[in-house]
Amino acid sequence: MPKATNHAASRKHRKRVLKQASGYFGNRSRLYRYAKDAVDRAHAYAYRDRRKRKSEFRSLWIVRINAACRAEGMSYSRFMSGLKASGVDLDRKALSELAIHDAEAFRTLVAKSKAALGL
């Protein structure tokens, strides 16, 4: 008696993988053999980068805060230590938004930081 392969389940699985690979270049979007590897790799990158996104945004906020601080004549590290000394508890995301959208409020924070450091 021949081996049963459960063709319906196999076809469903292959269809799902090919649907996930639609838009990929060349054979990766057309042939199951290559689409399977491409989709596996894509899932691995997506998993890794969901975690990496958090550190990339933190880096972006730090760059923005540093640029705004330099415009006020202060370095990022001095600014942050001054804020900590003055008891201001704002995270980097909020500070970055202030630096971009409300320059006046950011200037007052820089002044507070300088006062706490005695500059």
Confidence label for 5 from pLDDT (cuts 50, 70 and 90): confident
Structure tokens at 24: 């990929």
Structure tokens at 35: 């689409």
Residue 91 φ/ψ, nearest 5 degrees: -80, 170
CA geometry: angle 63, 69, 74, nearest 5 deg:
125
Give the closest residue to 114 by CA, choosing from 68, 78, 87.
78
pLDDT in tens, 71-114: 999 999 999 999 999 999 999 999 999 999 999 999 999 999 99
pTM across the whole model = 0.80
Provide, rounded to the nearest whole percent, the portion of the chain with pLDDT above 70: 100
**Three-state SS at 24:** coil
Structural domain spans, the chain: 8-117
- Tell me: pLDDT of 30 over 90: yes
CATH architecture of 8-117: Orthogonal Bundle (1.10)
